[in-house]
A = this chain, B = another copy of it.
Amino acid sequence: MRIGELAARTGVSVRSLRYYEQQGLLASIRTPGGQRQYVERDVERVHFIQGLYAANLSSRTIAELMPCAESPSEHNSDAALERMARERERITEQIGDLLRARDTLDRMVVVARAHRESLLDAAPAADGSAAAQDSTPHSAVPACV
């Protein structure tokens, strides 16, 4: 298939596909006229690349891992194993960062809502929601920073 179709089927821009090739992530054979020709398998390959990009692996790193993913051999697996371990650690760390940030956001939401409640408290609530037993102390909203 030609590059346009691969782009359409993977949701990746034509520009990016050419870039992947330039970075050694994706190979293609050329027609006599010079146009790139892809095979079915390349669809998965692009998805694979995208999955790694989604975890902020650089194209450089992905390129280093690709040969190992494709056809493992003693030649590549050795260096690649160490890199995988390093990336795995980085990913785990980043998951921690994200969880912490999400918690922070959640705390901020609570504070903002509490503040809104304390405003609404001036006028009695009109709906039947569980506004009773609201233990939030008025004007003692904790800061998030």
Residues of A within 8 A of B (CB): 41, 44-45, 48, 51-52, 54-55, 57, 65-66, 68-74, 77, 80-81, 84-85, 87-88, 91-92, 94-95, 97-102, 104-106, 108-109, 111-113, 115-116, 119, 141, 143-145
Could you tell me if A91 and B98 are in contact, using CB atoms closer than 8 angstroms? yes
A100 CB to closest chain B CB, in angstroms? Answer: 6
Could you tell me if B69 and A100 are in contact, using CB atoms closer than 8 angstroms? no
- Roughly how many angstroms separate A104 CA and B84 CA in the complex, as a whole number? 10
Closest to A70 in B: B145
Contacts of A65 in B (CB 8 A): 108
- Roughly how many angstroms separate A94 CA and B87 CA in the complex, as a whole number? 16
- Roughly how many angstroms separate A145 CA and B72 CA in the complex, as a whole number? 11
- Roughly how many angstroms separate A106 CA and B94 CA in the complex, as a whole number? 16
